[in-house]
Amino acid sequence: MNPLEQHQLALSLNLPETIMASRLAQWLSTGGFQYPADEDLFQINRENVSQQHQLLLKAWLLFHQNLLIDAGIPAFKSAEIDQIEYQENGRLRITISLFSFIEFRNLFVNALSQCFTFILKMNATPYSLEAFDDLGKRVEQQLYQPLKKVSNAGLSNIPILQYAYEHHIPMQYFGAGLYQLGWGANAHWLKASSTEEDSAIGAKLSGYKHFSAQRLKSLGLPAAQNALVKTIEQAAEFADEIGYPVVVKPEQGNRGEGVVKDITTVTQLKRAFEYSKSFNELVLIEKQVTGSCYRFFVYKNDVIYINGNLPRKLVGNGEANIAELIEADTRYQMTRKHWQRDPTIPLDTETHDCLRDQNLTLQSVPEKHQSIAIRKIGSMQWGTEDAPAVCDAHRDNIALAIAAAKAMNLATAGVDMIIEDVTRSWLEQTVIVNEINSSPMIGVSKASLDALPKLMRLMLPNQGRIPVTVFLGKEAAFDAARKAQQAAIENNIACYLTSHQTTLSPDQNSTPMTFETVSQRVNALMQMPSVAALIIVVESDSVLEEKWPVDQIDELVVVDNVNQAVEDFFRSLCR
């Protein structure tokens, strides 16, 4: 069945006398929210509902949906308006259908009323950057952050779950940000972009950069020459030993936070050491190598995509100087949702150094379309550029990335490699595996979004489904089902059989369960990785009153006369 359950809710709303359509459009569209242009959320005859009220209601429900998705909650189906009634007191009574995982039901309802309050505020307030910034801050604090905390979602959750929803891949939510995609032996647990196939030890230890480098070296793989230091004296001593330039970074952490490169003097080293130490007590000093950073997204024995990790940039327009471009970028960030903004570009040492390396100053006027780097590395801390996918990486470099992921016992990993020419073998140039990320993002950049179908096909063949056969009837149906199970077992298929009262494993021993319904037993079996095929015996029409957990079956066998409604129901599930 559809993983998003339908819940009906009745509300009484006090609508404003005047609906400011163009104002709402500016508030929502400027902020990157979907604006109700053509969406039809009404399941009723709308002749008695004014166009203005229709527009306000649509804006409210789509704002609600967009906000939930931004916070990592799979609200993939818009709410629908089932009934509207104008009341004598001027209020509007409205019945709405919401579609969510049952675990998120109360959250959907609570967010709905808060979103309506904010929509009324937008309708009443003339748009300006200052007003947008003020209201956006309140939306972030009062709605987005609490929702994000409950969702427990990583940045990859929504793209992966949306793909699964649109491609009819079975989904379940277990809580704490953990989802199951698929059934039984073909299912995978998903938390952010990590799966149950990843070693918990490997995932934890990959967060320690020095350990990761030592692990790679022990396997004969190229890694950074680095050392852990606790004091600036130790840092200076090791930098002298390996020679400048060096890179300073926190021992733990990802996203490029706290990383400083191109350090050539003790004075620069002291500044970088204190900066990195603000992120983690242990600081890593590393020999800097020449080249660019590339992310290899690895899944098992494949690299799903490769792209460069580009630092944040400005783009010239042929008229404004760099100081003016920075000011324009600050204004642009104010038009974005608070939680999607890049930090204001600081006029700090790193910015001036980047400009100097490009023979530029704040007063320089770049040519039209000219790119100007204002950070030395790409990081989530300061923002990155969306780099195109690399399609011509050398096969040795791809093999190196896969080997690095395996070194940490990770099925899914983001392997970052510093390399001058990604089209040439790492054996012919100086290359290091810079970092191994146990939960790499996918579906966020264009390159990773384009690669998402490939990952899902590899991870979930046949949509993650297992063969399901339903037998209708009583004792004769159970006997026929046992023969079918035996035939599957003889073909080396780990086939389970379940009825309302009995569940048999492939060794045909009874599997004890506390459940009293066949629906509950089927749902439990679909969560077990030992179940490669399932035969279900339905003995009564009670299934029509239960939440049936399977949306497709491969075969229906009618053994005894049953309620026609039961037979019709299961025939509707045959694919």
Q: What is the pLDDT of residues 175-184, one digit of tens each?
A: 999 999 999 9
Find the range with the poorest average confidence among 2-6, 370-374, 502-506. 2-6
- How far apart CA 428 and CA 425 sit, in angstroms, is 6
Q: Which of 165, 218, 181, 208 has its CA nearest to residue 437?
A: 208
Q: pLDDT tens digit string along 356-408?
A: 999 999 999 999 999 999 998 887 778 788 888 899 999 999 999 999 999 99
- Under DSSP, is residue 249 helix (H, G, I), strand (E, B) or coil? strand
pLDDT band for 91, please (50, 70, 90 cuts): confident
Amino acid type, 262 = D
Yes or no: say if 413 and 404 are a contact pair by the CB < 8 Å rule.
yes
Residue linked to tokens 């050491």: 273
Rounded mean pLDDT of 454-460? 96
Within a 10 A sphere around the Cβ of 106, how many other Cβ atoms? Answer: 12
Rounded mean pLDDT of 290-297? 94
pLDDT band for 314, please (50, 70, 90 cuts): very high
* Bond before 146 cis per omega within 30 degrees: no
- How far apart CA 234 and CA 224 sit, in angstroms, is 18
- Pairing relationship of beta strands 178-181 and 171-175 according to DSSP bridges: antiparallel
Query: In 38-151, where does DSSP find H-type helix?
Result: 51-70, 105-124, 129-139, 145-151
Q: What is the DSSP code (8-state) at residue 428?
A: G
- How far apart CA 191 and CA 57 sit, in angstroms, is 34
Q: pLDDT tens digit string along 237-256?
A: 999 999 999 999 999 876 67
What CA dihedral angle connects 361, 364, 369 and 373, to 10 degrees?
0
Domains of the chain: 5-151 (3.30.70), 313-374 (no CATH), 466-573 (3.40.1190.10)
Q: pLDDT tens digit string along 319-347?
A: 999 999 999 999 999 999 999 999 999 99
Q: Can you read off the two tokens belonging to residue 310? A: 């580009």
Amino acid type, 406 = K
Q: pLDDT tens digit string along 94-106?
A: 999 999 998 999 9
Residue linked to tokens 């015996």: 537
Q: What is the DSSP code (8-state) at residue 554?
A: S
Q: Can you read off the two tokens belonging to residue 527? A: 């969560």
